[in-house]
Amino acid sequence: MDCRDIQKMLSAYLDGLLSADDKETVDRHLSSCVNCRESFEELEKARALLRDLKTLEPPPWLGIKIMAQVREEAARKESLLTRLFSAFPSRAPLQALGVVVLAVLAFQVYRMLVPEMTGMREMPRPSSQVQKETKETINAVVPGKAGKEEAPADALAPAPASSSLNKQYAAEASKDKRVEDEVERERAEAPVSSPAAGPGSAGRGAQGGQSDTLEPSPRQEGQHTALRQDRRVEAPTQEARQDVAAGLTEQRSQAVAAGRAGAEKAVAAGVAQEALPTILVRTRDSAAARQVVEETVSELGGKTIETSAQEGRILLVVELAAARLSDLAENMKSLGEVTTTPQAAAEAEAPLRVRIEIEQLSVAR
Amino acid sequence: MTSHYVGPTQCDDNEYVARCRNGEVEAFGVLVERHQKKMFNLAFRMTGDEQEAAEVVQEAFLSAFRAIGKFRGDAAFSTWLTGIVLNQARTRRTQLKTRAHYEPVSLDDAREDRQGNPRFDPPAAGPSALEQVEKRALQEAVQEAINALDEETREVLILRDIQEYSYEEIAEVLKIPDGTVKSRIFRAREALKAKLKKRLGDL
């Protein structure tokens, strides 16, 4: 054995991993070879330096902060689950309902998207439309429970805690599929809820890292990665779900696949959108206002990302340095009454996505 | 299971994991209490920055809580958690690189915190003052050498020679075969030796 071979074994030798024979070989070599002995001693000293590194105490607030976030997360999950599931004693109708609701939601979102894919033009108010149709579906499937399903958007409000609810959550939480359903529902519901309630759960989801508003979508994706992996394991259920959705839209079978992929993207985008800071302006001439806003944005060094229109309202998503945001809001005051939603702090020069809503005032109001 | 710290046994942890999965949120608090120190130190050695380490650990515990329903219990909870912490550190490192365009962050400035304030306290008066300064300077040099390693190398070195995980545990945490662990540790130690010699002269 030459020195090179011995040197390669020194790390394992240090960790006591060599066989008795090998160990003996190395021992013998080290006793006579100065170079290798030196190499070995250096290895030992390097390791000693690492071991001597001070062990730090974590900051005293760390555990407290973690648990605060954890409790918040638990409360959020619980309120959604109990709201939707507390009415049902047995599981089977739940699963069926879950599948149907998801299929319908996917379908609704897809329908919402089709006009968007063919270009910008007037769309029916998506949130109220989907909400209405969702309610109808739920009411149809569960007659008599109609009263309880009031405004799915209210599911975002925290439910009163109680031990029976806890148990409900417990029983549900242990089923992975339940968590999956609820996450999908949460994601699908986010665009359904009004902007005011938006920062509730979707916002909290996207605000996981607070100042990181640069990439809200990937963060949302990151949080759901663990769940998504589980989705692959749950393949049979997933396929069943997809089959139901496909069955509903048989005439447009090809478009459904594209629509669903687009729907998922739109839902994710919709969720991310709801977490954006928003400036609302009420003005008499929304078309002119839009032009002014776009010009102001580009003067401030930003750019318009997308535009869309719904009845009586123009929506813009722009990208602007966080520090310029107040300038933009100020400028918009000349157009009409301006309302801004509060936002998490961001680095001054970091580009921020902002949602701008231009509401057309009708003369007769 | 070897550990620097007087830590909980695997059995104890699993009990709290089960309770947490049953809906007992506060059971998670016990797990946080038990593991935060080790995870914080791991994150600190990986990132070279205390503030960053705190954020990594927070995100990691929150991730773990969200995924607790999926934890299978065939590995130890701490092993699973360690993997999450390392993932989090990696993710943030990538994000930091994106942000470096706006706000250059140097991981090698162990001497200063994020605001540029010098990190060490002035030495206390006394005969061992010089020793204290020397020791701190040495530790900073070592951390700088660690920071200079690439991520993969740094991970395996910290797990083995600072946190004293066994080869098997490291294979579990990093999800790599045993043979790979062995060769990575060998190369990591050689790399560290070289970096240390550069900073400290002969060892």
Extract the tokens encoding A82.
């109990």
**In terms of pLDDT, which residue wins out, B142 or B12?**
B142
pLDDT of B132: 85
Q: Considering only CB atoms, which chain A residues are within 8 Å of B167?
A: 15, 17
Q: Do B102 and A176 touch (CB under 8 A)?
A: no
Calculate the CA dihedral of residues B48, B52, B56, B58 and round it to 10 degrees.
130
**In terms of pLDDT, which residue wins out, B97 or B161?**
B161
pLDDT of B142: 94
Nearest CB to B70 within list A15, A230, A350: A230
pLDDT of A111: 84
Contact B182/A at CB under 8 A: yes
Q: Considering only CB atoms, which chain B residues are within 8 Å of A62?
A: 36, 40, 54, 57-58
CA A96 to chain B, closest CA, distance in angstroms equals 22
Q: What gap in Å lies between CA B163 and CA A285, rounded to an integer?
A: 66
Residues B63 and A226: beta-carbon distance below 8 Å: yes
**In terms of pLDDT, which residue wins out, A276 or A184?**
A276
Instruction: Give percent above pLDDT 90 in chain A.
Output: 19
Mean pLDDT of A213-222: 42
Question: Which of B16, B22, B164 to probe the A interface (max A CBs under 10 A)?
Answer: B22
Q: Which of A29-33, A73-77, A153-157 has maximum average pLDDT?
A: A29-33
Extract the tokens encoding B177.
């075969």
pLDDT of B145: 94
pLDDT of A144: 47
Q: Considering only CB atoms, which chain A residues are within 8 Å of B33?
A: 63
**What is the sign, positive or negative, of the torsion defined by CA atoms of A139, A187, A342, A75?**
positive
pLDDT of A214: 41
Q: Which of A245-254, B70-79, B167-176 has maximum average pLDDT?
A: B167-176
**In terms of pLDDT, which residue wins out, A245 or B117?**
B117
Residues A327 and A312: beta-carbon distance below 8 Å: no
Instruction: Sort strands A303-310 and A337-340 into parallel, antiparallel or unpaired.
Output: unpaired
Q: What gap in Å lies between CA A323 and CA B126, rounded to an integer?
A: 50
pLDDT of A201: 40
Instruction: Tell me what the pLDDT averaged over chain B comes to.
Output: 85
pLDDT at A12 over 60: yes
Q: Do B196 and A15 touch (CB under 8 A)?
A: no
Q: What gap in Å lies between CA B203 and CA B201, rounded to an integer?
A: 6
Helix (H) or strand (E) holding B48: none
Q: What gap in Å lies between CA A230 and CA A352, rounded to an integer?
A: 33
A-facing residues of B in 50-69 (CB < 8 A) are 50, 54-55, 57-59, 61-63, 65-67, 69
**What is the sign, positive or negative, of the torsion defined by CA atoms of A267, A273, A274, A280?**
negative
Contact A158/B at CB under 8 A: no
B-facing residues of A in 165-184 (CB < 8 A) are 166-167, 169-170, 173-174, 176, 179
- Judged by DSSP in three states, B196 sits in helix
Q: Do A58 and B37 touch (CB under 8 A)?
A: yes
pLDDT at A222 over 70: no
Contact B36/A at CB under 8 A: yes
- Helix H, strand E, coil C: the string for chain A is CCHHHHHHHHHHHHCCCCCHHHHHHHHHHHHHCHHHHHHHHHHHHHHHHHHCCCCCCCCCCHHHHHHHHHHHHHHHHHHHHHHHHCCCCCCHHHHHHHHHHHHHHHHHHHHHHHHHHCCCCCECCHHHHHHHHHHHHHHHHCCCCHHHHCCHHHHHCCCCCCHHHHHHHHHHHCCHHHHHHHHHHHHHHCCCCCCCCCCCHHHHHHHHHCCCCCCHHHHHHHHHHHHHHHHHHCHHHHHHHHHHHHHHCHHHHHHHHHHHHHHHHHHHHHHHHHCCCEEEEEECCHHHHHHHHHHHHHHCCCEEEEEEEECCEEEEEEEEEHHHHHHHHHHHCCCCEEEECCCCCCCCCCEEEEEEEEEECCCCC
Q: Nearest residue on chain A to B27, judged by CA atoms?
A: A67
pLDDT of A343: 63
DSSP B122: P
Q: What gap in Å lies between CA B33 and CA B20, rounded to an integer?
A: 14
Question: Which of A17, A53, A164, A204 to probe the B interface (max B CBs under 10 A)?
Answer: A53
Q: Nearest residue on chain B to A212, judged by CA atoms?
A: B95
Mean pLDDT of B149-176: 95
The per-residue pLDDT for range A106-158, each reduced to its tens digit, is 888 888 877 655 555 455 555 555 555 555 655 555 554 444 444 444 444 44
